[in-house]
Every structure is written in structure tokens, then in C-alpha cells.
Structure 1
């Protein structure tokens, strides 16, 4: 942990923004993943504390849609869930601790950060740049 991590403090978190599944951008996931994940570009915010907040939508073919209001700290590779959308309403998350997203198997958050939320250990310079990258992610040569 660096001295900047010790001194870091998250800004006040606004309430979850409204989202629309119809404008969501798909997150590139492995073909074996049964859930489809997408992010509503209108919900992305990059804050002064270095957190990128957004609404991610999880859906199954022909099934119910759920959403999460989350924040990512690119600098520490952590994610935090603020609220969950179920049955037409937002419920505040009960466990508000930061978690390392690279330790979560098949994490959509890891994919999302590579697809455009982060540039290394920092957020993108603007929401507009983030949305452009999410729409046309740079593919690594395998």
C-alpha cells in the first residue's frame, strides 16, 4: 500500500442513475458465459477521486434483467457495488467494501476495465473517450 492509498478518500456517492437497457453497450465476454453483461454509457461518470461509476446490466436470454451500480478504482484494481436493481427498484448494497476484481473468476469487471474503463492504472481522460473505447475496444492479438 502506498502513501497515496492511505490518504485516498472516496467522494460522496450519488444515488444510482436511471438506466436503459436499449442503449447499453455489450461487454465482450467468453462464449461459455450464460449471462450477458452490458453497460449503459449514459450512466458512466469519472470522479475527482479516480473512481469510474456506472450501471452494468446482467440479463439472460428470455429472463429477468438485473443491474448493478458500481464503482471501479483503476489505480488499485478494485470494484465496489453501491446498489442492486431488482424487481423494478434499487436496493442499497449491504457490503460496501472494495474488492480486487482480478481475483474474481470470469469477472465482467476485469473485461470492462480492459475494454475501456481504465487505461492501465488510471481512468480514461473523459467519459466520451471511455464510451468510444467501449463501443470499439482495442483487441489484443492472441
Structure 2
């Protein structure tokens, strides 16, 4: 338990510090996000989001680290009544920010977010799940946690093995 607390505290401190510091590259430009993949609701990696009754999960096949260093993924939120919501999101580890690119509508499929803007992970409305994704394996300090495959490994790993000696299986 103490090890889990230390891992979460370290990740939280890194994200909090990065949210207050300007990104290293002032010339950074976001690339066009690839289109969201087809929605999958099975085989999701659970993401524990304290303080909510919703169950969250990431589609491991959707995790992508772009050459712009944005970690993009599909997250699915399910309620006890069976309602399902899905978002296609991105995290900028260096800036401690997230963006919602699209939301899934059961009747229309993926609907792009209008005027999607980068929001701080620590203060953005409805971003608790994004902060947990960053802390649980998407980010390692102020950088993406390696490749998409490495991120998926850490997201799947027990909390006490994440980021140990630099991350799972390193």
C-alpha cells in the first residue's frame, strides 16, 4: 500500500509541476489527430477513478503515441444501469494537459468535439479520468511513457509494478 501511495504521489507531483511549467519546445505544433478507431467495449483495461460510480476502461488497441508526443486513446465510461459513453482523447505529458477530440454517439458514431482546446489535467472539468490515465501509465514524468506498447503494459500492470525501475518490463 505504501508503495502504491508513493507511486501515485510521485506521478501526481510530476504532473502538477508540469502543469505549472511551460513546455520545453516553444515551437511545438500538434499534428492532425488520426481518426478514432471503431468503438470496442470488450477487452478494456480498467482505469480506477476515485470518487465516481462510473467504470472506466481504455481500449488497448487505440493507444497511440504520435510524433508530436501526444498520447491518444479511447476511453469508455459505463454506468451501473448499462449506459456507455466513449471519448477519443489526447494527453500532453510535457504540459500536463488533455483534449477530447471526439465523443461517441450511438446513433451517429464518432462526433468531433467542436472547438476542442487543451485543458489542464489537474483542473479541467470532467478530467479526473484523464489524470488517472496519465498517472497510471500514459506519462512518465513530463514525457510519454515510451511506446504505445509500453503504455499498455504499465496500464495493465498492478499498481505496485508501474514505474518500478523506470516502468514495467524495462
TM value normalised by structure 1: 0.89
In the TM superposition, what are the counterparts of 1:115-130 in structure 2 within 5 Å? 115-130=136-151
Which structure would you say has the larger RCO, counting Cα contacts within 8 Å and 6 or more residues apart? 2
What's the C-alpha RMSD, in Å, of the aligned pairs? Answer: 1.8
The number of equivalent residue pairs is 138
Q: CA deviation at 1:137?
A: 4.2
Contact 1:115 1:134 survives alignment (8 Å): yes
More strand by share: 1
2:116 maps to what in 1?
96
Q: CA deviation at 1:99?
A: 0.3
**Cα distance in 2, alignment partners of residues 101 and 129 from structure 1:** 21
**Cα distance in 2, alignment partners of residues 122 and 77 from structure 1:** 10
Contact 2:87 2:101 survives alignment (8 Å): yes
2:53 maps to what in 1?
34
Structure 2 residue ranges without an equivalent (≥5): 1-21, 163-170
Residue 131 of structure 2 aligns to a residue in which SS? helix
Segments ≥4 residues shifted beyond 4 Å: none
Residue 21 of structure 1 aligns to a residue in which SS? coil
**Cα distance in 2, alignment partners of residues 91 and 69 from structure 1:** 10
Kindly provide the CA deviation profile for residues 15-69 of structure 1, in whole angstroms up to 9, marking residues without a partner as x.
1111311111110122x41111110000000011110000000110122211000
Change (3 A) 1:2 1:73: closer
TM value normalised by structure 2: 0.75
Q: CA deviation at 1:117?
A: 0.4
**Cα distance in 2, alignment partners of residues 87 and 99 from structure 1:** 26
Contact 2:23 2:95 survives alignment (8 Å): no
The question of 1:80 aligning with 2:99 is answered: yes
